[in-house]
A and B are shown apart, each in its own frame.
Chain A
């Protein structure tokens, strides 16, 4: 039993829990798609995610090392908070299933949000390769274009201005060691 907890609390365990997360969300998403629950789909997905999280924390708390101390251990707080979170989330889920929770808002430009997040994540990934200045400059440029700025003079000066500003203020003035890549 102890070996299983050690396994699930390690690097492979993280992969398994991470893989289980979208699987649970997909199952809930599929189950709420066609019936009367569709207007609360995102809220139900959030509740499912929170329940999954509280389950993982509560379950893994059994594997936490116990150092002898009177009346308390490293397990106390995680169990207390995960049990509380599960309890309140279940109540939220109950209200949602009864139709007493607010409906999901109308979806806006979600594609643009996801594209923005992707650009930012890509810039983060590229920081170790291209360095901070290049990757943040490219990120600003692409974000300006993505958000609708069409004047080259404006987005180029914004990008150049930011790179110059971050070099002068953060690197020179505040001595912040910004990530450097293959070039600079």
Chain B
């Protein structure tokens, strides 16, 4: 009952021209950003971060979350129409969306992707609302040992979800943790690795680092691949009818199933919409009576992919808001946004600033309604975003990145940090080292160190095993490290035999 009344209060606070305009602007920018190939949801959120500086904390967060949610839908428009997924998670949408367009059923593909996105979004938000408050309440009882174990589990999950690239993921996580030690020690105030450079006493600011790693590295990769010279594919001019209500109802179980699955997968740190959409698509294909249709233009394939990647947004926000652990790259950017507005993500957010949390939840519901309205208004309008040539888009990304990096501390040094991390991210990603674990390592580094040392001071290493929850979490973390190692060894042994 409390939750509903808080939600209604949150909804009430959004019923004004300014909040509604902020959500609408966030949704428009998110769809546009998602539709532009080369701009991922995390990049869109990072680039638009400076626009929130002048806003109140709740409005800033509302806008960024609306961008995050809408970017996941925006990616599907270009995936369906021109077989160019605007976001990594929309790759799966293109598997069946584009074949439908080729068959002259673009309307079906667009309609199903829109409705599935909205349904998935609502499922994700519902689970977020239902589970985050009790989880936050439970997390308030955590000792430092549990927080340390939880953060370690988060990071080890991120690394183990790297699949075949688990070793590279671990290296990236440790690099992030190590870089986070630059600056003043959070407990004793001792300066570490500052080399008498005043700017380094505060360590690296997250925002320039993540803009560099997420935005500039992708731009450098795009320039290297020569894609700036390629003209974007033009969409088919033919119009095809959208599905009827009966068609949508046929897909209701696919959407709901994928929505729940996407939310659950989104909760795991590092999993995100891409993994969610691949898994949901695979599950849907296995459950289908006509699995052979998948890949040839099955509406259920589009529905599963879109519902799962949209619902993963709600899932990713659960650990972010309740435990302070980001569930995806975009959620990592949102942590930066919370910190800029002097808000500490974690269970205390629910006790100290419940109005912000519930306004955020309500705004996500409204954002979903706006996505539906704007999607119905015309996907053909959004698709024009994909036609902006990269040779114009990339310079603008540089300009936005610099403003975003500069604005945090009004420091040109931070802009330099952004450029350096952009180049580092480009070099790492071209050698198949994932960059998002670096950011997550940097974000969780302080939390891990503070809690590790607090536990050591309170009772030494034995405290980690004496507390059942911390022991369980550490064992799970160990298992998530051990599983890919054992799996690889078994595969190698089979290969030899």
Contact = CB atoms under 8 A, between A and B. Distances in A.
Interface of A: 9-11, 13-14, 42-43, 46, 50, 53-54, 57, 60, 64-65, 67, 69-74, 76-78, 81-82, 84-85, 88-89, 91-92, 95, 102, 104-105, 107-110, 112-113, 116-117, 120-121, 124, 127-128, 136, 139-140, 143-144, 147-149, 154, 158, 162, 166, 169-170, 173-179
B188 A74 contact: yes
Contacts of A158: 392, 395-396
Given A46-B428, A108-B224, A124 B415 contact: yes
B174 A72 contact: no
Secondary structure of the A side of the interface? helix
A77 B223 contact: no
Contacts, number: 185
B contact face: mostly helix, strand, loop, or mixed? helix
Lowest 3 A-B CB distances belong to which pairs?
A14-B195, A143-B395, A108-B224
Interface of B: 50-51, 53-54, 167-168, 170-171, 174-175, 177-178, 181, 185, 187-188, 190, 192-193, 195-197, 220, 223-226, 228-229, 389-392, 394-396, 398-399, 402-403, 406-407, 410, 412, 415-416, 419, 422-423, 426-428, 430-433, 445, 448-449, 452-453, 456-457, 460
A110 B53 CA distance: 36
A147 B412 contact: no
B412 A43 contact: no
A183 to B, nearest CB: 17
Contacts of B448: 77
A140 to B, nearest CB: 5
Contacts of B457: 69-72
A156 B399 CA distance: 15
19 contacts: A10-B195, A46-B428, A60-B193, A64-B192, A71-B456, A72-B453, A81-B174, A84-B174, A85-B171, A104-B431, A109-B224, A113-B224, A117-B423, A139-B395, A139-B399, A143-B395, A144-B392, A177-B410, A179-B412
Nearest to B228: A147
Contacts of B190: 64-65, 67, 74
Contact of A92 (B167, B220, B224): B167
A125 B181 CA distance: 27
A182 B391 CA distance: 31
B256 to A, nearest CB: 39
